[in-house]
Amino acid sequence: MIERHIIPELRRIVGDVGLLTAPEQLRTYESDGLTSYRVVPGVVVLPASTEQVQGIVRVCHRERVPFVARGSGTGLSGGALPHAKGVLISLARMNKILSVDLPNQRIVVEPGVINAHVTQRVATQNYYYAPDPSSQSVCSIGGNVAENSGGAHCLKYGFTVNHVLGLTVVMPDGEIVHLGGATLDQPGYDLPGVFVGSEGTLGVATEITLRLIRKPEAVQMIMAAFHSTDHAGGAVSEIIAAGMLPAAIEMMDHLSIQAVEQATHAGYPTSAGAALLVELDGPTAEVDALIDRAEEICERNGAWQVRRAATADERLLMWKGRKAAFAAMGRISPDYYVQDGVIPRTALPRVLRRIDELAEMHGMRVANVFHAGDGNLHPLVLYDGDVPGAAERAEEVASEILTACVDAGGSITGEHGVGEDKKKHMPKMFNEADLDTMNRLRCAFDPNLLSNPGKVFPTPRLCGERPGPRREHPLVAAGVAEIF
């Protein structure tokens, strides 16, 4: 339970419409997209402006009450998991696009704006917002910023961090600061660079300046069917080695194809061991020449069917299948547990074989849909939650998959974030000195550890004293400094 006396004060800040205290209302916020973790928040507030966020955070700071920001709640690592004695700050009402500057390819949005709405706003003028998580029709820009979200097109266009120029942030003590800005390389440390991907632990973003991208002249896409992921992986390597940088290269294994085809009828070859989607964009002359080469490479690597999307609609249908992959798992399994470990692309065949082994060893099925171009796996461990112990076994398989990723020189997460779920895996990648250095950054922003506490770091850490003014040069103090 939350300290009751702050409720009236919060009500004064956000009004009745912005405050939820009834248990059944609170319960709808108990988890994000990873429903295996549940905590009912102490109170939920829905501010409508930066000033209201500031007011809320000031109260939290004064009372030392933890707070957790929440966008659309689609996160897959328990990042927006509430604090039982804390305030959950939903940014859903801050959903305005504040300004559009097409000549400079900039747009300023509030954090609750839905990812896809950014592109929708500028699409008729031939612009778009590049990062495209599969959840883009519901996830918020604030959540994208916190997770440094990616998407299929990140291979060529980069992640959220490459598209965020500036941020207005309410710091954990309630100060409003501006990080970065509309122009490049503002003086000082690259604070947008570290705030993006900080998973809500460094403050609350209330305004975000994004970069827009001019739509390319041409886009072409092929879908190729292979007997195995090994063959498909061979094609991926050869495409990259040929010096192409496709907009996206996505792979699905046999199980995923089954699920997706049942759910979407996108025309995926259900008998294939693996399917590859390759999209190229850019100047027409380039795309036309390179898509032919990509087709040849697929065929040379054993593709027994290669289909080229003839129209934009056909292309969108191919994408629809891929983007619905998680949801489609319901067709083949009651439950699934997804991880998003990353490996160097060249380790793909080795790690995929290891995943097969692990699945067999534990008697589980693992479906794979992934961003093959950048080695970002999404192994979906399928299980039935009604079978006692199955969820635990699924988690164990997933955990061993992450170990395999790190052993191959990769990462425990490529886009979903560490959050609550993967914090125990952090020591697989980072030693004590690494984590201590990250904690120093954390403490510089949030010395009282109020902003989304308990996430990301594997063990609770404290901040120690706020460093005071600089120590005097000891040699000067000792009166021996004239020699320097």
Partner 1 sequence: MVVEQATRESMAALVGPEHVETARDADAVDGVRPAFVVEPANAAEVAAVVAHADHHGLAIAPRGGGTRMTWGNIPARLDLIVSMRRLDQLLEHADGDMTATVQAGITLQDLNDRLAERGQFLPLDVPRADLATIGGLIAVNDSGPLRLRYGGIRDLLIGATIVRADGAIAKGGGKVVKNVAGYDLPKLMIGALGTLGVIVEATFRLYPLPATNQSLAWESGTPEVAGAFILAVLDSTLVPTGLTLRWSTSAGSTLLLRLTGIEPSVLAQRDQALALAQAHKLGEPWRLDASDWSGLHAELLSHECALVARCSVLPSEIPALIRMLEDVAEQESLEVSAVIQAHGLGLVRATPKGTGDVAASLRAACMELRKRLAARGGTLIILAAPLAVKQRLDVWGPAPDALPVMQQIKARFDPNGSLNPGRFLGEHA
Ligand X SMILES: Cc1cc2nc3c(=O)[nH]c(=O)nc-3n(C[C@H](O)[C@H](O)[C@H](O)COP(=O)(O)OP(=O)(O)OC[C@H]3O[C@@H](n4cnc5c(N)ncnc54)[C@H](O)[C@@H]3O)c2cc1C
Q: Among partner 1, ligand X, none, what binds residue 8 when CB lies within 5 to 8 Å by partner kind? A: none
Q: Among partner 1, ligand X, none, what binds residue 222 when CB lies within 5 to 8 Å by partner kind? A: none
Q: Per CB under 8 A, does 124 bind partner 1?
A: no
Here's the x/- map for partner 1, 129-168, by CB under 8 A: it reads as: ------------------xx-x---x---xx-xx------
Backbone φ, ψ for residue 58 (5° rounding) = -60, -45
Q: Of the ranges 26-34, 44-52, 325-333, 476-484, which one interacts with partner 1 (CB under 8 A)? A: 476-484
Site for ligand X in 34-73 (CB under 6 A): 68-73
Min dist. Cβ of residue 321 to ligand X (A): 14
Can you tell me which residue has the tokens 């706020």? Answer: 466
Beta strands in 132-283 (DSSP E): 164-170, 176-180, 204-211, 213-214, 218-226, 248-253, 274-282
Site for ligand X in 290-349 (CB under 6 A): 326-327
Site for partner 1 in 299-328 (CB under 8 A): none
Helix (H) or strand (E) holding 291: helix 284-300
Q: Among partner 1, ligand X, none, what binds residue 143 when CB lies within 5 to 8 Å by partner kind? A: ligand X
CA distance 110 to 101: 15
Residue 398: CB atoms within 10 Å: 23
Site for ligand X in 186-245 (CB under 6 A): 199-200, 204-205
Q: Which is nearer to partner 1, 1 or 184 (CB)?
A: 184
Q: Which two tokens mark 291? A: 């898509």
User: Residues touching partner 1: how many (CB under 8 A)?
Assistant: 99
Give every CB contact of residue 203 below 8 A, 6+ residues apart in sequence.
Answer: 57, 169, 170, 171, 172, 195, 445, 446, 451
Q: Per CB under 8 A, does 128 bind partner 1?
A: no
Residue 44: is it exposed, middle or buried by C-beta count within 10 angstroms (0-12/13-18/19+)?
A: buried
Q: Quick one: the chain helix, strand, coil %, rounded to 5?
A: 40, 20, 40
CA distance 356 to 364: 9
Q: Per CB under 8 A, does 84 bind partner 1?
A: no
Q: Per CB under 8 A, does 1 bind partner 1?
A: no
Min dist. Cβ of residue 417 to partner 1 (A): 6
Can you tell me which residue has the tokens 């699934």? Answer: 336
Q: Among partner 1, ligand X, none, what binds residue 7 when CB lies within 5 to 8 Å by partner kind? A: none
CA distance 238 to 371: 16
Q: Which is nearer to ligand X, 150 or 233 (CB)?
A: 150
Q: Which is nearer to ligand X, 205 or 348 (CB)?
A: 205
- Under the rule (CB under 6 A), what is the footprint of ligand X? 32-33, 68-76, 79-80, 91, 111, 133-135, 139-140, 142-144, 146-147, 149-151, 199-200, 204-205, 326-327, 415-416, 452
